[in-house]
Amino acid sequence: MRRAFVVAAAAAVVFVLGAGVAVAREFSLPAAHVEARVLPDGSIRVTEHITYSFTGRFRGGFREIPLRDGELLVDPAVSEDGVSYRPGAPADIGSEGEPGTFGTTAVDGGVRILWHYAAADETRSFTVAYTLTGVAEAWDDVVDVYLQLWGDEWDVELGRLTGDVTLPRPAPGTVRVWGHAAGVDGGTELREDGRGASVLAENVPPGQFVEVRLVFPRALLTSTAGAEVRSGTALDRILAEEAALAAGEAAARRRARWIRSNVAWLVPLTAVFAFAPAGLVALWVY
């Protein structure tokens, strides 16, 4: 069953990607696909496939992944068309590097992955992968995985975003999923085999995030070495949070529909209220 997106609270993971800016250069983003594979120890292997359409010449791009206390990023990798980029390159923004190489460096509150290439007036797809530990929250009853598949830092529209979250083992009937992307066409859908969920978002505007939240039984993990262990139960609280978010989004949609259906008389009424004080002052002066 596909669920529509609802408004989200704070993001668990924020993704940022950019390329140098120069005169007569621009790029668009036709598509992106993000795979998040929950490993048996609770760590998450994230693989991002991002397609660029370049106009002009570009030499490099980067991703900055913020990390909270207790979260780590390990095993970064970059590839293109199945060919791995070599690690060890400089990771400073604006640095020079041989095409086909990448580097990593710590930044304030996270890690930057920067790769070097040479592109001119063409479409290219890059794959950026890394493993996150400490992101999944392992409670006594469930594991709460809250990921931001697309960040709000992009200044260009994304044509189509697809995503998959895969669990270590199937758990039909006990997995729950929610999507968060206010005002974006799309939704989430549980896999029939109980191994996770898929996400779809189309025409994601600049400055808009897309998030997914997946909750599954803690028994699916063989250990919690890659998760943040929390005491107590969480399922009831999570269900209440998501219900409140859904209710808020439904109310926002109703307000938007009401405004659209009444715009014919709202505009002149607004004008009356805007100019009435000036008319009263003029009458008083007279």
- Amino acid at position 80, single letter: E
Q: What is the pLDDT of residues 224-235, one digit of tens each?
A: 999 999 999 999
pLDDT, residue 18, reads: 42
The two tokens of residue 42 are 């609770």
Q: Which residues contact 169 (CB under 8 A, 6 or more apart)?
A: 195, 220
Q: Which pLDDT tens digit goes with each residue over 203-222?
A: 999 999 999 999 999 999 99
What are the b/e assignments for 89-121, b being 16+ CB within 10 Å?
bbbeeeeebeebbbbbeeeeebbbbbbbbebee
pLDDT for res 264:
65
Residue 12 has pLDDT above 60, yes or no: no
In the numeric block, the tokens 């069953």 are attached to: 1
Helices (H), 161-206: none
Cα–Cα distances (Å) from 187 to 14, 156, 173, 229, 272, in that order, read 19, 21, 19, 29, 41
Looking at the predicted structure, is the pLDDT value of residue 50 above 80? yes
Roughly how many angstroms between the first and final C-alpha of the chain, as a whole number?
67
How is 85-146 classified by DSSP, letter by letter? Answer: PBS----STT----TTEEEEEEETTEEEEEEEEEEESSEEEEEEEEEEES-SEE-SSEEEEE
Mean pLDDT to the nearest integer, 97-118: 96
Q: What is the pTM of this model?
A: 0.81
Q: What is the mean pLDDT of residues 7-20?
A: 34
**Residue for token digits 């590839």?**
79
Q: What is the C-alpha separation between 48 and 36, in angstroms, rounded?
A: 9
